[in-house]
Amino acid sequence: MGLYRRPTDLDEAMAALAESPMTVLAGGTDFYPARVGRPVAEDILDVTALAPLRGIAEAGDHIRIGATTRWSELLAAPLPPWFDGLKLAAREVGGVQIQNAGTIAGNLCNASPAADGVPPLIALDAAVELASRRGWRVLPLAAFITGNRRTARGADELVTAVLVPKPRHPARAGFAKLGARQYLVISIVMAAAVLEVEGGQVAAARIAVGACSPAARRLPDLEAALIGRACAPGLGRVVSPALLTPLSPIDDVRGTADYRRDAAVTLVARLLDDLAGGGA
């Protein structure tokens, strides 16, 4: 049986992590299922009593989402429309009980290729704030998640927040998930998009697809092809398999690579059509 610590002070938490290896615990919804049937032997650092890791706040040119913000708290928060994609994803993270316990940083640190929070946050150009005794640093989310269940987090670092920059133009955002059934399901493919629109035209586009590569990927060729297009119904027709090149889906129990590639084209096209159908 290992140690269990639940500090209320961030310095104390960072000191504990600097001293010896500890497993960070937030909502436990990824942690516990990974340990079913065996005692928890490692030392645990529970971060849920750390006030600086809580809450959602506007901070100059970005919105700061505390690491231990739960999915249900995110859903209830009054956020601008460019968070609509992340909110749609929040609604898809398990059922309500999971959304009441699971945190945003837990989803990112677990770094599952099928983590629903990752594509919408990559499409929002989010960054991850990390703190340790050695200092603070901020990494783009796309650089933080380095592969299937791998991140750039040092063993002595805590994720303290997710930082989402404000878009330069009015923006709209969406998220779509394909699973074997409608709810309570691990994604076969999911897609998130943020479109910045000026004068009826796409001024900036950020599209990310999850569950089709070890970590969710943005689609730079598709994003470039969307710039300057009228943000109007039919926008999804721009999507073609050739524009989804960074994706490298695999065959697994949930679907074949070919199915995933095909589904990604359809999902992204529908998402763009839905977003282009609304008013700027």
Ligand X SMILES: Cc1cc2nc3c(=O)[nH]c(=O)nc-3n(C[C@H](O)[C@H](O)[C@H](O)COP(=O)(O)OP(=O)(O)OC[C@H]3O[C@@H](n4cnc5c(N)ncnc54)[C@H](O)[C@@H]3O)c2cc1C
CB 116 within 8 Å of CB 202? no
State residue 23 phi and psi, 5-degree precision.
Answer: -90, 130
Q: Please say which residue, 76 or 224, places its beta carbon nearer to ligand X.
A: 76
Least Å distance, CB 226 to ligand X, is 26
**23 in contact with ligand X (CB under 6 A):** yes
**72 in contact with ligand X (CB under 6 A):** no
**Of residues 1, 8, 33, 78, which one binds ligand X by CB under 6 A?**
33
**25 in contact with ligand X (CB under 6 A):** yes
B/e letters for 203-229, b = 16+ CB within 10 Å, e = fewer, are bbbbbbbbbbbebbbbbeebbebbeeb
Taking CA atoms, 109 is separated from 73, 140, 243, in Å, by 19, 13, 29
**109 in contact with ligand X (CB under 6 A):** yes
**98 in contact with ligand X (CB under 6 A):** yes
Cβ burial of 33 (10 Å; 0-12, 13-18, 19+) is exposed
Least Å distance, CB 153 to ligand X, is 6
Distance CA 219, CA 233 (A): 21
**107 in contact with ligand X (CB under 6 A):** yes
Segment near ligand X (CB under 6 A), from 78-86, 94-102, 167-175, 201-209?
Answer: 94-102
Contacts with ligand X, residue ranges (CB under 6 A): 23-31, 33, 47, 67, 92-94, 98, 101-103, 105-107, 109-110, 115-117, 153, 158-159
